[in-house]
Amino acid sequence: MVTNNSLRAKAVYEAIYCPRGRVELMIKEHKRHLKLDRTSCHRFEANQFRLFFHCAAYDLMYTLLANLLRGTELARAQFDTIRLRLLKIGARVQVLSRKIIFHLPLSSPLKPVLSRCTVILNALPPIRAG
């Protein structure tokens, strides 16, 4: 790496080069795994709304990765891996008058991760509408 910066090489690498690389990886994950660049609608407003949903999905996945998956085998996984191994599992959904119950499979390679996420989510306060 060539630079005219007066900092030491290690400081330049850690302070400038590595953060830039992390941002580029985030953009790549956004484009490849969450299909950010798919704006195939004919109207600008529809594409803008679609982009809004992609950004919301990115925020949810990043929050999932940073908070719920910390300390698990998926702590450093890419979004596509999380989506395929953790989120795309078969479940039976039971809708009751006051709650929704997800019946997950009894055997799963990621059962400890799912159990940990469930415990953390159950500890959160309920969201009130309005």
Is 67 in contact with 56 (CB distance < 8 Å)? no
User: Do 111 and 119 meet the contact criterion of CB atoms below 8 Å apart?
Assistant: no
What tokens were used for 28?
A: 């790549």
pLDDT in tens, 83-106: 888 888 888 999 999 999 988 888
Residue 2 has pLDDT above 80, yes or no: no
The model's pTM is 0.63
How many Cα neighbours within 13 Å face the side chain of 11? 4
C-alpha to C-alpha distance for 8 and 14, rounded to whole angstroms: 10
Confidence of residue 3 (pLDDT cuts 50, 70, 90): low
pLDDT, residue 6, reads 66
| Residue ranges of domains in the chain | 33-123
Determine how many CB atoms are found less than 10 A away from the CB of residue 124: 7
Mean pLDDT across the stretch 53-82? Answer: 87
